[in-house]
Amino acid sequence: MADVRRIGLVLCPDFDFMGLATTSPFAVANRYVTDTTYDIRVLSEAGGLLHSGCGPAVETERLSDPSAFDTIIVAAGISLPEPSSDLFVYLQEAARSTRRLAGLCLGAFALADAGLLSGRRATTHWRYAPQFRARYPDCHLDIDKIYVADGNLWTSAGMAAGIDLAVGMVERDHGRQVARTVARGLVMERRRAGGQAQHSALLDFDAPSDRIQSVLAYARQNLRLPLTTEDLAAIACLSPRQFARAFRAETGVSPAKAVEVMRVEAAKHMLEQSRLPIEEIADAAGFANRERMRRAFLRVQGEVPRAIRRAAGPLAVV
């Protein structure tokens, strides 16, 4: 007989519908795992119909004994959840009696308000990081991760990252191969490990003009090339001086700095998602050698490539 593991998704008032997608990896895993079945329940404090932040409502069950659940996941909305003493007491009990407790995106605030993240590692949406640090100085906030698992407490950076968190839970339960199969079943572009960065450097360098956008796209696709200011100016059909001035005006950084950050981002992804030798990664990302890559990582990330590889944890690639 299959072992049944009950998953409780706790919805806060004005929840984001994206939170419901967190249940999908467990449902897909049920198709491929014979010895375990995930039983998914959608919960709220009062039970009954609960309205989302965008209007439509879903039927929920009232919060029940947390010890009856293997995993409890808290999903909030796109604004900070309102404090609720009843929910905090429930989460405190859940932290003692369930195998795992998670807060998706701003759901991390609910866990922290319940006093569960003091001295623990966690993440949340990057936009709310200053507020989180000010409110919970005893929590070790790691804003560069899409999700963090510290013992039995899991947190995700955003609602979409909650899907990665759920796949990570499936991997913890059933191994990497099942997690890969689930990711394929969900048509995920790739299986992202928790160490993956929250956002792309290309987004940080968003430029209003098509001319500079085309240069950024060209650089991203040709990181192995020298990509000097002169090379990029030719792509923009500008003189090097005109190009450098226009590029800084639109992105806030020099062309050389933008290329360095994009190379570090590309190398960081390879460090997290592959086991290629560091020398090969340095070459593929356009660094002349591993020492130049190491110095670039210290400038951009504040840590060396080997530390990032260690922090990424077990390899998990679709």
Helix or strand (DSSP H, E) at 16: none
Helix or strand (DSSP H, E) at 30: helix 24-32
Q: Which of 17, 33, 22, 16 is nearest to 8 (CA)?
A: 22
**Contact call for residues 198 and 157 (beta carbons, < 8 A):** yes
pLDDT of residue 160: 87
pLDDT of residue 293 exceeding 50, the answer is yes
pLDDT of residue 99: 97
Q: What is the DSSP letter of 141?
A: E
Beta-bridge mates of residue 6: 39
Q: Which of 172, 176, 79, 169 is nearest to 131 (CA)?
A: 79
pLDDT of residue 199: 53
Four-CA torsion 199, 193, 20, 30, nearest 10 degrees: 160
Average pLDDT over residues 118-147: 90
Helix or strand (DSSP H, E) at 264: helix 255-273
User: What pLDDT digit, counting tens, does each position of 16-49 carry?
Assistant: 999 999 999 999 999 999 887 899 999 999 999 9
Instruction: Work out the pLDDT band at 124, boundaries 50, 70, 90.
Output: very high
Average pLDDT over residues 76-87: 88
- Write the single-letter amino acid at 276: L
User: What pLDDT digit, counting tens, does each position of 153-201 carry?
Assistant: 999 998 889 999 999 999 999 998 899 899 889 987 545 555 455 555 5
pLDDT of residue 107: 96
pLDDT of residue 316: 41
pLDDT of residue 69: 97
Instruction: Work out the pLDDT band at 9, boundaries 50, 70, 90.
Output: very high
pLDDT of residue 35: 80
Average pLDDT over residues 113-126: 94
- Name the pTM for this structure: 0.66
Instruction: Work out the pLDDT band at 318, boundaries 50, 70, 90.
Output: very low
The H-assigned helical ranges of 124-225 are 129-135, 159-174, 176-185, 201-204, 210-221
Q: In the predicted model, what is the mean pLDDT of the chain? A: 89
pLDDT of residue 70: 97
Which phi and psi (to 5°) does residue 228 adopt?
-75, 165
Average pLDDT over residues 286-308: 90
113 C-beta neighbours (distance < 10 Å), count: 19
